[in-house]
Each structure stands twice: as structure tokens, then as C-alpha cells.
Amino acid sequence: MRSDNYTTFQLGGRAWLKIPRLQKGKRITIPLNTTVEPTGTLRLILKEGQIEVHYTIDIFEPKTCGQATLGVDKGYTEVFVDSEGKHYGEGLGKILTKHSDQ
């Protein structure tokens, strides 16, 4: 169900969902077993006399990167050299020189 086709509200310590009925202008009100109001596109599933409301949520998971300081040198003969001396893109300078001299 598209997000512009339903409404949610709080009542009695729980979230509720209002969805359209087949009858024009009429809506069905469904109590949810949570205080969290669903957002976005919903998927309503009727299963064994119960309605399941499925929707997606975004979860932010911070990635721990450590405390080390890293230095990077951008150059012409190699693309990058890191602070541990590892070279990335070796030979790039020769390729660039070859093609720029044509």
C-alpha cells in the first residue's frame, strides 16, 4: 500500500492504521500491537485471521575504523602511496606520459 493511501495515529497507548475500503470514502481502522507507527510503503498480509503489517526501515550501523592516522600521497608515477609505503597504481606515470606525448 502506497504511503499516500493510509494514515496512522496514536490512541490508547498504541498505534492505529486507517486504510481505504472498497466502498468509496470509507476507511477501515486497524489497531496495531505496537506504539510505533509504520512509514513508507506497507505490505498488508492476512494470515490466520490476523493482519500482518510489513514495512522497511533504515538502520544506521556505525562502523568502527580504529584510531590510527593514515597518510596518503597522491602522485604522478603512482596513483597513491600510503603511510606504510604501499604503492597503488604503479606505472600510471608511464602510461600517462605515453598517451600525452601522442
pLDDT at 40: 92
Q: What share of the chain is helix, strand, coil (3-state, %, to 5)?
A: 10, 35, 55
CA distance 6 to 18: 6
pLDDT at 31: 95
Per-domain residue ranges of the chain:
3-54, 70-102
Using the predicted structure, report yes or no on whether residue 30 has a pLDDT greater than 80.
Answer: yes
pLDDT at 100: 77
pLDDT at 29: 95
Q: pLDDT tens digit string along 8-28?
A: 999 999 999 999 998 888 999
**Mean pLDDT within 79-86:** 86
Q: Is the pLDDT higher at 14 or at 89?
A: 14
| Residues counted in the chain | 102
pLDDT at 101: 66
Provide the whole-model pTM.
0.55
Query: What is the average pLDDT score of the chain?
Result: 88
